[in-house]
């Protein structure tokens, strides 16, 4: 059974930083491209960043230059370093394969950017 557990969210002021982690179990993590997705209030879930097994990365235009995705295959973990956070980055952040697999969604971790 695949399990993805996100952590690291919280309340941060605009301009602050957070580092999200996603620990995977029950799957051959290293062979999959992984993504971080977010769902802002009253909006659809969107892809924020992705990383292939070869560590090629993609970023949504809204986060490019501020967010960095990385992975540690030895720890079955993918990270999202978020800097220069803005109020519009507020939402619940999820990790999943990329493209996402329906049965892989976890509970997510909530990020609130507010003064």
pLDDT digits (tens, 9 = 90+) for 19-73: 999 999 877 788 899 999 999 989 999 999 999 999 999 999 999 999 999 999 9
Determine the pLDDT at residue 103.
85
DSSP 65: T
Residue length, the chain? 115
The CB density around residue 45, as the number of other CB atoms within 10 Å, is 17
E-state strands within 1-108: 3-7, 10-12, 18-25, 34-39, 46-51, 57-59, 67-72, 77-82, 91-97
Determine the pLDDT at residue 27.
79
Contact predicate 48/63, CB 8 Å: yes
Contact predicate 22/37, CB 8 Å: no
Q: Where are the alpha helices (DSSP H) in 4-95?
A: none
pLDDT digits (tens, 9 = 90+) for 75-103: 999 999 999 999 999 999 999 999 999 88
Determine the pLDDT at residue 36.
98
Backbone φ and ψ of 88, nearest 5°: -75, -5
Q: Which residue has the higher pLDDT, 12 or 101?
A: 12
Beta strands 109-113 and 10-12 are parallel
Determine the pLDDT at residue 24.
92
């Amino acid at each position: 059974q695949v399990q993805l557990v996100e952590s690291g969210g919280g309340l941060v002021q605009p301009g602050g930083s957070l580092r999200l982690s996603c620990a995977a179990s029950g799957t051959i993590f290293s062979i999959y491209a992984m993504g971080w997705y977010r769902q802002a209030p009253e909006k659809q879930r969107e892809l924020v960043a992705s990383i292939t097994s070869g560590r090629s990365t993609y970023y949504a235009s809204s986060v490019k230059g501020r967010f960095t995705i990385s992975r540690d295959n030895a720890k079955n973990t993918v990270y999202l370093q978020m800097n220069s956070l803005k109020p519009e980055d507020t939402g619940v952040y999820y990790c999943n394969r990329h493209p996402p697999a329906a049965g892989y969604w976890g509970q997510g971790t909530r990020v609130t950017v507010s003064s």
